[in-house]
Amino acid sequence: MTATPVRRRAPVQARSRKTVTRILKAAAAIADELGVQAVTTRTIADRAGVSYPSLYRFFADREAILDALMERHCAELDARCMEAERTWKITSIADLLNNELDLHVHYYRRYPSSARLWMGGRTSAIVTKHVRARMQNLAGRIHAMLVSAELIPAHTDPRALLVAIEMADRVLELSFRDGGDFDQAILDLGRRALIAFGRDLSGDLSPHPGPS
């Protein structure tokens, strides 16, 4: 399924911006408390204390609201990642993957509603679109950092890093699965597997032929 972003009216007046903020905060709170499946325009309007016509002035439907939430979440997380990445001294693939994992764990534990939206919203085509785009962008950025640090050759298949990022995302999903409660044991097991994968990549990043 291809997700098409829903066009929404950008608020201009301060009162309108406050209304949009209330709508998005209400949607995030519902997703956090009840899961993304409970996020509907009706429940959002009721929680935000706005009329249905007011909500539809800015958002065409539920997917448009989720689209706005994911845009904000991804922009904030990416900004934090890139700020931290500039301070890291990269010595190995495993260390870089480990640092990225720690950064994401810290963010999701500090902002649990974002974790619920990211981990639990993949039945939504819009949420899935943002998840896939961010995984691709993060893998590309890590590929560029490793090439710059001369830890991998420039011709290294970027899909190798995408696999690593998808593995890390799965570890995070399992770690936060039970209602947003964090499972340290799952994280520790997943971290070992991820770091082992990173070390294996550092030993051999050349493509292998498939079975004959």
Q: Taking residues 110-119, what's their average pLDDT?
A: 84
Which has more pLDDT, 206 or 154? Answer: 154
Which has more pLDDT, 117 or 5? Answer: 117
Domain count, the chain: 2
Q: Which domain holds residue 56?
A: 14-60
76, 147: one domain: yes
| pLDDT one-digit tens code per residue, 33-55 | 888 889 999 999 999 999 999 99
81, 52: one domain: no
pTM of the complete model: 0.81
Q: Is 172 within a domain? A: yes
75, 56: one domain: no
55, 76: one domain: no
CATH number at residue 124: 1.10.357
Q: How confident is the model at residue 10 (pLDDT cuts 50, 70, 90)?
A: low
First to last CA, the chain: 33
Residue 173: what residue type? E
Report the interhelical angle of 112-120 vs 14-34 (nearest 10°): 70
Q: Is 77 within a domain? A: yes
154, 91: one domain: yes
Q: Is the dihedral of CA 27, 32, 33, 35 positive or negative?
A: positive
Q: Is 28 within a domain? A: yes
170, 115: one domain: yes
**How high is the pLDDT of residue 86?**
93
